[in-house]
Amino acid sequence: QIKDSVQFIFILNQPKRLEQAKSLLAEYNIDDPVLAILSNQNAYDLIRAEPTTWIINHEGRIIYKHVGYQQGDEKIYLSEIKKIK
């Protein structure tokens, strides 16, 4: 099952929104996410725009990167995740 093999990592640029982020993750049934909270730097040091999505294989290589979001991007993400063996 894909859900069992995916780890979600979220970079939170606004620490004061931690509870809001946790509620959103719970709403979408995202269990045990890694939350990186930036307090001394800006997420824009790491990314060009929000959201930025990376799919990383088991060896730690980035196999897919997408900047921005449009409805339906989830289908692309799911397709890319299924390619990981």
Helix/strand/coil for 43: helix
pLDDT at 4: 61
pLDDT at 21: 84
pLDDT at 14: 74
**Residue type present at position 30:** I
pLDDT at 10: 77
- Cβ-contact 31, 1 below 8 angstroms: no
Strands (E), 6-78: 9-12, 34-37, 52-56, 62-67
pLDDT at 25: 81
Residues lower than pLDDT 70 in the chain? 1-5, 39, 41-46, 85
pLDDT at 1: 55
pLDDT at 67: 84
Cα 28 to Cα 30: distance, rounded to the nearest angstrom: 6
